[in-house]
Structure 1
């Protein structure tokens, strides 16, 4: 479904992640999540008004 995901290798990852979570087989540690949505927006020329112009700029 997603391009990047763990691969079942029967060593480090013994089963599909969703099955392991459902069975409670995971380490319970605090985790922080974030993303970088629009991180590059300030660097794009403000006069770009189409995908074509953006591609040309890139």
Structure 2
């Protein structure tokens, strides 16, 4: 499962698509720096828990 709802799944797909574009453009500029599985997990958890939350929430 990619998201807890259709809206969240679409957002995740958009994030993946943007990441693919970043990777493509980084390849055009040389060797891209790849994130470790741990870093990806930390970033994903941060996204799921706090991304889009307003200040004070």
TM range (shorter): under 0.3
What TM-score, normalized by structure 1, do the two folds share?
Answer: 0.21
Structure with greater Cα Rg: 1
